[in-house]
Structures are given as structure tokens and as C-alpha cells.
Amino acid sequence: MTTKSWTFYKGTVHNRETQTLYSVDIYQQENDTIPPLTSDTTRWKYVCFLDYTPNKQQIVKVDMQDNQSAYLCKWDTVQKKIVLTGKDTASLNYVILSNTGMQLQGDWLGKNIRMMLTRLSIDSLTLVKDKFLFMQEDQ
């Protein structure tokens, strides 16, 4: 195995191990719990954390209509905060509840939010949501 191949393989394994996907089970904004309605663009449906390198960490939020927004983020493990930068900035406190759960809380777009997250396996995701039919024309 060449050095270049080994470097690529180590990077791929690191990326896979540090990618985490969570479903948002409970979404509270101010004092209201927002139900998971598919017409809602305020409530978060999924949160995905990506860690390509120590300087390129991202959080991707997916709303109930499957619109995605990605933000650069920095993890502060001492103060248990995730600081998001980009078009919208935020500072979210986090608590790891177990190997399968996390709580996020903080200010998002001027409103106090709190989310209870459940970790999902990235391997079990369906990549194509819509069925499609291949057609072959006889020539």
C-alpha cells in the first residue's frame, strides 16, 4: 500500500467516525413545543455534525420540508458550547445524554430554543426517497 493511499484511507475513516446524524425528537421555541408538521420551516427535523478537519467542522440543519442549511461551527468542550458562524450565528449549549442522545439549547434567530436529539445510524439512511422506473425503448 502506498503512502498516498494510506493517507486517503485514514482521512476517510476519520470523516466517517466523526459524522453524526441526529433526529430532532422535541423542539421547543420560547415556551412552546413545536409539533413535527411537514409544512413547518421553523422546526428542525435533523441535525448533522460533520468534521472534515479540526478547522472545517460543520453543522447541517434540516427543516421539516427537507431544506438544508450548513454552518461552520466550533466545539468548546470546556464550556460545552457549539458556536455557529455563517449567515446566521448562534451559540448552543450541549449536553451529551448518552451514546444515543444529546440536548441542544440556546439562542437561534433571536428566540430561545431547546432540542432533544436521538442519534441515527448513517448506514441505515435511504439515499433516494422517490421510487423511479427505468424504461427501455426497443430499437
Residue 105 resides in a domain:
yes
Residue 49 resides in a domain:
yes
pTM score, whole prediction: 0.73
Residue 88 resides in a domain:
yes
Residue 9 resides in a domain:
yes
Mean pLDDT of the chain: 80
Q: How confident is the model at residue 79 (pLDDT cuts 50, 70, 90)?
A: very high
Residue 133 resides in a domain:
no
Cα–Cα distance measured from residue 60 to residue 46, given in angstroms and rounded to the nearest whole number: 8
Measured CA to CA in angstroms, residue 4 lies from 7, 15, 23 at distances of: 5, 17, 36
Cβ contact 109:92 at 8 Å: no
Long-range contacts made by residues 123-129, C-beta under 8 angstroms, separation at least 24?
125/21
Domain that holds residue 37: 3-122
* pLDDT tens string 15-51: 445 578 899 999 999 989 998 898 888 899 999 988 7
The domain that contains 69 carries what CATH number? 2.40.128.20
> Which residues have CB under 8 Å from 21's CB, separation 6+?
46, 47, 48, 49, 119, 120, 121, 122, 125
Give me the pLDDT at residue 29, please. 93
Residue 134 resides in a domain:
no
What's the domain count of the chain? 1
Q: Using the Cα atoms of residue 55, residue 103, residue 121 and residue 88 in order, give the sign of their dihedral.
A: negative
Of residues 33 and 131, more confidence is placed in 33
Pairing of the two strands 101-108 and 111-120: antiparallel
